[in-house]
A = this chain, B = another copy of it.
């Protein structure tokens, strides 16, 4: 393979003009090798507005001569995503989506099988990714096992200070609300992180760690004293945030353990990956990988790889390395 491959820029169609869709559009517009071709949203309030210099349209654009990649940022539910993916494949587009359930779609085998078949038939690749699931708790720990003679277990901790994040993130983890109310929302997966199950399944399956159970526990972290940060005050007894623990086990033994903790005033933000095996590896990212920026970046960075991949439904574990890029020019 020669060292420099010159390629025509890849056209990208963003579907879903919410905050993540807008962020991906901006990332695509700036990234070397990509061109923002269209932004699509069904919301009449968004149609006609400008996103990264492109006017939002209501419908997918007609099939183009150039191969295109669609980025779907519309839903966390694979059941809801399926028809959107099939529409894109019908128009000859490969697909990258931030839908959490698509990161490891085989937990819902029927939609996964139908998408896989349609993607193979269309000769286009489909991938679910994002910062998490997609990177911190799956692609990154998997990449870190390359130098291991044997992997016995994987543990990932993602700990974030919600006070340093924007308000929608603080809302997403229940900051300042009534703890019982947050616990109910957390149990119903209306707040908190979605994707521990998908990350655990992707890691375990890829490494051949056989598991027979997955249990996720979710709890609200409550302020035992009033705390003030960045102009916001949380009172004693209010929710500071959430802690979620996902464990994939075999006969009670932990094979994959994933900890997500995001609280207002958390002492330190960091990501940590522990590979138990030969050798044992202990890897720490000080400050952690910032969530929203990273999701937009990883989706944009996935586009060239997905555009070139064979037809079918992929995961982060079976595609070539997804990498960032220097600024153009």
On whether the beta carbons of B283 and A285 are closer than 8 Å, the reply is yes
A30 CB contacts on chain B under 8 angstroms: 149-150
- Categorize the interface residue count of chain A: 35 or more
Q: A149-B293, A296-B149 are in contact. Are A2 and B116 (CB under 8 A)?
A: yes
* Binding-face segment, A50-58, A89-97, A171-179, A310-318: A310-318
A143 CB contacts on chain B under 8 angstroms: 139-140, 143, 321, 323
A314 CB contacts on chain B under 8 angstroms: 1
Shortest Cβ gap from A165 to chain B (Å): 13
On whether the beta carbons of A150 and B324 are closer than 8 Å, the reply is yes
A326 CB contacts on chain B under 8 angstroms: 150-152, 207-210
Q: A264-277: contact bitstring with B at CB < 8 Å (1 yes, 0 no)?
A: 00000000000101
A313 CB contacts on chain B under 8 angstroms: 1
Shortest Cβ gap from A135 to chain B (Å): 6
Shortest Cβ gap from A281 to chain B (Å): 6
On whether the beta carbons of A290 and B279 are closer than 8 Å, the reply is yes
On whether the beta carbons of A139 and B146 are closer than 8 Å, the reply is yes
Q: How far is the CA of A279 from the CA of B287 in the complex (A)?
A: 11
A277 CB contacts on chain B under 8 angstroms: 324
Q: How far is the CA of A135 from the CA of B209 in the complex (A)?
A: 23
> Does A205 sit within 8 A of B, measured CB to CB?
yes
Q: How far is the CA of A237 from the CA of B287 in the complex (A)?
A: 41
Other-chain contact of A321, B116, B300, B318 (Cβ < 8 Å): B318
> Does A10 sit within 8 A of B, measured CB to CB?
no
> Does A168 sit within 8 A of B, measured CB to CB?
no
Q: How far is the CA of A281 from the CA of B297 in the complex (A)?
A: 13
> Does A289 sit within 8 A of B, measured CB to CB?
yes
Q: How far is the CA of A27 from the CA of B139 in the complex (A)?
A: 23
Q: How far is the CA of A8 from the CA of B207 in the complex (A)?
A: 17
Q: A2-B116, A32-B208, A279-B290 are in contact. Are A327 and B150 (CB under 8 A)?
A: yes
On whether the beta carbons of A325 and B283 are closer than 8 Å, the reply is no
On whether the beta carbons of A321 and B207 are closer than 8 Å, the reply is no
Closest to A206 in B: B323
Q: A317-B321, A318-B1, A321-B142 are in contact. Are A149 and B285 (CB under 8 A)?
A: no
Other-chain contact of A284, B278, B286, B323 (Cβ < 8 Å): B286
A297 CB contacts on chain B under 8 angstroms: 146-149
Additional 4 contacts, C-beta under 8 A, given A140-B143, A145-B324, A282-B286: A208-B326, A279-B293, A319-B321, A320-B320
20 contacts between A and B (CB under 8 A): A1-B116, A4-B205, A139-B146, A146-B324, A147-B290, A147-B298, A147-B301, A148-B294, A149-B297, A151-B324, A151-B326, A207-B323, A208-B325, A210-B326, A279-B294, A281-B289, A284-B284, A317-B320, A317-B321, A318-B321
